[in-house]
A and B are shown apart, each in its own frame.
Chain A
Amino acid sequence: GENVEQHPSTLSVQEGDSAVIKCTYSDSASNYFPWYKQELGKGPQLIIDIRSNVGEKKDQRIAVTLNKTAKHFSLHITETQPEDSAVYFCAATLTNQAGTALIFGKGTTLSVSS
């Protein structure tokens, strides 16, 4: 089955710096890689995703890159702000005869200090 590794587990940056979170996956059949942000006491929310036919995707200060050969993908946040402080999860698809579900990494706690 699919296995997703996420690093680092914690990340502290100064406001305005960039933050990078990296994930690796094991199943070469995975074709969808979303990133979720979870604020304290809330459920995760999708912030950006990338499909296997794309190498990079940007949305304002957030970008995701995918290297299918190496089976890793990364989240890049530029010009970080205090409101970016949260737990971030990467995920990859798990597919069997019943359908498709997501397997999540263990999360990265990002702290942005002003």
Chain B
Amino acid sequence: NAGVTQTPKFQVLKTGQSMTLQCAQDMNHNSMYWYRQDPGMGLRLIYYSASEGTTDKGEVPNGYNVSRLNKREFSLRLESAAPSQTSVYFCASSERSGRTDTQYFGPGTRLTVL
């Protein structure tokens, strides 16, 4: 099992460009999450998907959109990137939401917006 995989590992964008961060899990988990990590700010929840077909906003959703493509895949889109979105982005998954199950994290995508 690969667990949670994320692509790309690194990305540099110019202000105003768009891109999609990809996440996939092979653990048959129902719930998936996107976080961003900034120095001194910990992990902040952007969006999550409790189950296939549902998504909901987290703490910092502005400037992002998500798509739960199927049970395995959960993508994060930046429509018009801004320097404030420079961060490390982590995807995570858990067996189910509404219960207290472990979240498994991917290796992260380091994004720089110039």
Contact = CB atoms under 8 A, between A and B. Distances in A.
DSSP class of B's interface residues: helix, strand, loop or mixed?
loop
A99 B100 contact: no
Residue among B40, B45, B55 with most chain A CB within 10 A: B45
Contacts of A105: 42
Using C-beta atoms within 8 Å of the partner chain, give the interface range for chain A.
20 to 34
Interface string B31-42: 101010000111
B54 A98 contact: yes
Contact of B40 (A9, A34, A99): A9
A104 to B, nearest CB: 4
Given A9-B40, A32-B100, A103 B105 contact: no
A6 B42 CA distance: 10
A106 B56 contact: no
Contact of B45 (A31, A45, A51, A103): A103
Contacts of A99: 31, 48, 50-51, 54, 56, 97-98
Contact of B107 (A1, A43, A49, A95): A43
A98 B100 contact: no
Given A43-B92, A43-B108, A44-B90, 12 more contacts: A34-B102, A43-B105, A43-B106, A45-B105, A89-B43, A95-B98, A98-B48, A99-B98, A100-B98, A101-B33, A102-B103, A106-B41
Interface of A: 1, 6, 9, 31-32, 34, 36, 42-46, 49, 51, 89, 93-96, 98-107
6 contacts: A36-B105, A46-B104, A98-B55, A99-B31, A99-B56, A101-B33
Interface of B: 4, 31, 33, 35, 40-45, 48, 50-51, 54-56, 58-59, 90, 92, 97-100, 102-108
Identify the 4 closest CB pairs spanning chains A and B, nearest first. A99-B50, A43-B105, A32-B100, A99-B97
